């Protein structure tokens, strides 16, 4: 996978350990996210993914658990043909505390996966299956909602 640094003063994103699925991405700017607020943040990189793969931008679990930092459209989709800067739509899900992000912080992770690219073919009927049209909890086993 090819990576171009649009912001050469940031380190090259790498896997923290060999075998890690995610490549950590850096914030290119400082920002403060008030509770419930979101902001698009640059990562200072552009990538060239192989055709037949997709880049997925996932939150980092440590920041999620410690601060409530997440990504609005998690996982973000990076199309193989996209050559612009990868940006991350961060959101502060903590109800009370602001989150301060400093340029150079690792804010998200990029995971590259193979993806099927089937042609879209319109049909009048679909084949029968055991599930049929049952969904949205039709198989049971879901939690019971309680008031308050
Ligand atoms: O978290 C993300 C998600 C997307 N992108 C870039 C790469 C992706 O290839 C492009 C388009 O993303 P998507 O298809 O999810 O957005 P859209 O709203 O459908 O835009 P478009 O009309 O450009 O496809 O935006 C990012 O940089 N970060
Ligand atoms: Mg799109």
Annotated binding residue 79: yes
Q: Which residues pair with 90 in a beta bridge?
A: 39, 71
3-class secondary structure, 124: coil
- Contacts of residue 98, Cβ cutoff 8 Å, sequence gap at least 6: 32, 33, 34, 35, 92
The predicted structure's pLDDT at residue 93: 98
- Contacts of residue 136, Cβ cutoff 8 Å, sequence gap at least 6: none
CA-proximal residue: ligand 1, atom 21 (nearest) = 79
- Residue 75 per-residue DSSP state: S
3-class secondary structure, 64: helix
Q: Give the pLDDT confidence of 32-79 residue by residue, as tens digits.
A: 999 999 999 999 999 999 999 999 999 999 999 999 999 999 999 999
Note the pTM of the prediction, 2 decimals. Answer: 0.94
pLDDT at 145 over 90: no
Q: Return the percent helix, strand and coil in the chain, to nearest 5.
A: 5, 35, 60
Q: Measured between alpha carbons, how far is residue 71 from residues 51, 75, 87, 115 in Å? A: 25, 7, 11, 22
Q: Give the pLDDT confidence of 109-133 residue by residue, as tens digits.
A: 999 999 999 999 999 999 999 999 9
The predicted structure's pLDDT at residue 148: 66
Annotated binding residue 61: yes
Ligand at shortest distance from the CA of 41: 1
């Amino acid at each position: 996978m090819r990576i171009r640094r649009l912001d050469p003063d940031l380190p090259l994103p790498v896997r923290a350990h060999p075998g890690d699925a995610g490549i950590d991405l850096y914030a290119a700017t400082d920002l403060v996210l008030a509770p419930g607020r979101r902001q698009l943040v640059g990562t200072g990189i552009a990538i060239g993914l192989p055709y037949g793969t997709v880049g997925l931008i996932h939150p980092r679990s440590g920041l999620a658990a410690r601060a409530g930092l997440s990504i609005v459209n998690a996982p973000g989709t990076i199309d193989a043909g996209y050559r612009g800067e990868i940006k991350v739509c961060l959101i502060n899900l903590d109800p009370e505390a602001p989150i301060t992000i400093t340029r150079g912080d690792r804010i998200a992770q990029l995971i590259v996966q193979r993806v099927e690219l089937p042609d879209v073919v319109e049909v009048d009927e679909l084949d029968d299956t055991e599930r049929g049209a049952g969904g949205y909890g039709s198989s049971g086993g879901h939690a019971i909602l309680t008031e308050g």
